[in-house]
């Protein structure tokens, strides 16, 4: 159906298409389902990978929801909301990107069925909001377990759970403790006295060759560079580090600058001055006390001589991102120009960062520079080994997710059992809660409860097990647990979830399948908000761009 709107600004007629009412809702549901179907088979420890090829033929192999969705070209505006949802979840929590999209799509589909049954969208939204609030409250009060009671093992188990669905899942006995050590090494206390664990302080380097089991953990920040000259020292204790974003090569006059000279000696003077300018800069940096100089640009051979004589270490062509992190960890300032406000070139000693030692070491087949014992934030590095680039990239993504999960567990201090335990418990709880309401919102809450069961169902289907039987068993256990009085031994059944390898139901807290409570709450809230934002839409108006006037054969 086409409409014409009058545009008051342009005074012209705008052509456009309008889709409204049930039609647009159905379109949104189809878009959401199609996005969820793409990532559905990659959920869980036995999920499958996707191979994505872009326009240039670059290949990515991954089963990380956010990565898959960010590589897909999506036309529908409502589907873009879901792609965005996965990326936000990846940014905020780091893991759970696949499940958040699946739950949101299921919530939207069920809400649409309710609207078809003549229940107003506002009623559905109110019911969903109530259900989401109750679910989060129940999760924190009843299912959540404090990490203190479980010790360091809880962190390693949470890391293993996050890795289970990734490429490094088969080697989790090596990678989980490594990731936990790396995160514990970067513990910092911010200005407000809160303990934080920045994921970015863990540097992940990738090196070809060997097997994944040869990956190593290094205390200190590792740089994939070597010293600029063989004559330099390769180990400096009590390092004072200058981080520069300046070219330490002979300065040449800018293009377009003309200098008229009448004496050939003057030309020699200009050349001499050009090389002196850079040498003066180096002397200023060394005079401030710097004995390690890291720069993102090049260093001239002429200048290298100065560093060698001064007994300093110089490293060129570092990545800017690395230098930013080193500057943060050592308390240095990344300097992009030596000029101060008066226009004079100076280098203050306060720009330098401190570290216990900077050393060049040979790790595997590569020479790396390690910055150890950084002053402000302690840093750690993980050097990954693998057969090829695709594998290394996927290992890096998996490790990022795992580090984020450990960070969330450490900062929030609470975990919940994984393997569909939380979703089943919430589903039973919300079904019972819905019957206590006398208003029409109870229908929406019941649908919310059923929607959550999609996670255990897909987990079992991906593991090639009988989903109907296992989900029914889970529901039976959780129903018994919630009906039992406080203090009853049956309350332990709340921790029961799926054991997908053996196709059974087991106590997942004992088995060590754990996820941070924070991650579950975030994904539930995000899924609810995404579903509601699309449910609110009842009209879509698409403007058609104005046609350009056609040219005649003379080009007019």
Which residue numbers are catalytic? Answer: 64, 97-98, 401
| Contact (CB, 8 A) for 381 and 221 | yes
Question: Phi and psi dihedrals of 51, rounded to 5?
Answer: -115, 120
C-alpha span between 418 and 423 (Å, rounded): 9
Strands 195-196 and 188-189: antiparallel
**497 neighbors 505 (Cβ within 8 angstroms):** yes
All residues at 6 or more sequence positions from 159 whose CB lies less than 8 Å from its CB, including other chains: 172, 175, 176, 179, 180, 402, 405, 406
Instruction: Assess contact for 74 and 35: CB atoms under 8 A.
Output: yes
Q: Read off φ and ψ for residue 120, nearest 5 degrees.
A: -65, 140
Please name the residue that has the structure tokens 């400096």: 236
Place of tokens 């750690």: 380
User: What is the C-alpha to C-alpha distance for residues 357 and 97, in angstroms, rounded to an integer?
Assistant: 40
Q: How many CB atoms lie within 10 A of CB 437?
A: 15
Beta strands at 366-374 and 221-223: parallel, antiparallel or unpaired: antiparallel
Instruction: Give first-to-last CA distance, the chain, whole Å.
Output: 35
The CA distance from 381 to 372, in Å, is: 10
Phi, psi of 190 (to 5 degrees): -85, -175
Q: Looking at the DSSP assignment, which residues form a beta bridge with residue 189?
A: 195
* Helix locations, 376-507, DSSP H: 389-412, 421-434, 441-452, 454-462, 467-483
205: nearest Cα among 195, 190, 220: 220
**Which residue in 344, 465, 489, 521 sits closest to 46, CA to CA?**
465
Burial 403-428 (b: 16+ CB within 10 A, else e): bbbbbbbbeeebbbbbbbbbbbbbbb
* CA angle 402–408–411, rounded 5-degree value: 140
Distances (CA, A) of 535 to 79, 93, 154, 308: 13, 25, 39, 67
Residues 7, 10, 16, 21, CA torsion sign: negative
Dihedral angle sign, alpha carbons of residues 97, 102, 105, 107:
negative
Is residue 186 within 8 A of residue 380, CB to CB? The reply is yes
């Amino acid at each position: 159906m086409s409409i014409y709107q009058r545009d008051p600004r342009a005074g012209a007629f705008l052509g456009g298409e309008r889709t409204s009412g049930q039609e647009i809702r159905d379109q949104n549901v189809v878009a959401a389902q199609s996005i969820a179907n793409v990532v559905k088979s990659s959920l869980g420890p036995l999920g499958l990978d996707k191979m994505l090829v872009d326009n240039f033929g670059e290949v990515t192999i991954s089963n990380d929801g956010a990565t898959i969705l960010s590589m897909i070209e999506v036309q529908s505006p409502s589907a873009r909301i879901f792609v965005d949802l996965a990326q936000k979840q990846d940014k905020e929590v780091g893991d759970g990107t696949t499940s958040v999209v699946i739950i949101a799509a299921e919530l939207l589909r069920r809400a649409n069925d309710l609207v078809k049954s003549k229940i107003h969208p506002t009623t559905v939204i109110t019911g969903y909001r109530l259900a989401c609030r109750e679910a989060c409250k129940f999760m924190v009060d009843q299912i959540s377990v404090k990490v203190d009671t479980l010790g360091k093992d809880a962190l390693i188990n949470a890391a293993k759970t996050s890795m289970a669905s990734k490429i490094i899942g088969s080697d989790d006995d090596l990678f989980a403790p490594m990731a936990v050590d790396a995160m514990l090494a970067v513990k910092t206390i911010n200005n407000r006295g809160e303990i934080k664990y920045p994921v970015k302080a863990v540097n992940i380097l990738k090196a070809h060759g060997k097997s994944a089991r040869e990956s190593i953990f290094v205390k200190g920040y590792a740089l994939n560079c070597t010293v600029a000259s063989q004559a330099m020292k390769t180990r400096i204790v009590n390092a004072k580090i200058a981080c520069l974003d300046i070219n330490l090569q002979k300065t040449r006059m800018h293009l377009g600058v003309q200098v008229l000279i009448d004496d050939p000696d003057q030309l020699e003077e200009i050349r001499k001055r050009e090389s002196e300018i850079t040498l003066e800069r180096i002397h200023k940096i060394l005079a401030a006390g710097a004995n390690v100089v890291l720069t993102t640009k090049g260093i001239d051979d002429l200048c290298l001589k100065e560093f060698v004589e001064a007994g300093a270490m110089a490293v060129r062509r570092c990545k800017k991102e690395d230098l930013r992190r080193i500057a943060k960890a050592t308390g240095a300032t990344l300097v992009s120009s030596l000029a101060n406000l008066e226009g004079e070139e100076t280098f203050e000693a306060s720009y330098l960062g401190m570290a216990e030692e900077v050393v060049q070491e040979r790790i595997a087949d590569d020479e790396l520079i390690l910055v150890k014992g950084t002053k402000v934030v302690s840093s750690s590095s993980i050097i990954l080994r693998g057969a090829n680039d695709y594998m290394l990239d996927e290992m890096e993504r998996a490790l990022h997710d795992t580090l984020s999960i450990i960070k969330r567990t450490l900062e929030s201090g609470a975990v919940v059992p994984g393997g569909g335990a939380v979703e089943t418990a919430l589903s039973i709880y919300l079904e019972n809660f819905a019957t206590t309401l006398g208003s029409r919102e109870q229908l929406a809450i019941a649908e919310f409860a059923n929607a959550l069961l999609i996670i255990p169902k897909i987990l079992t289907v991906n593991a090639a097990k009988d989903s109907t039987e296992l989900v029914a068993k889970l529901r039976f256990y959780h129903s018994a647990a919630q009906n039992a009085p406080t203090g009853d031994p049956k309350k332990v059944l709340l921790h029961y979830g799926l054991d997908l390898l053996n196709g059974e139901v087991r106590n997942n807290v004992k088995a060590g399948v754990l996820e941070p409570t924070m991650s579950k709450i975030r994904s539930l809230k995000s899924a609810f908000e995404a579903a509601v934002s699309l449910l609110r839409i009842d009209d879509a108006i698409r403007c058609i761009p104005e046609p350009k006037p056609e040219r005649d054969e003379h080009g007019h």
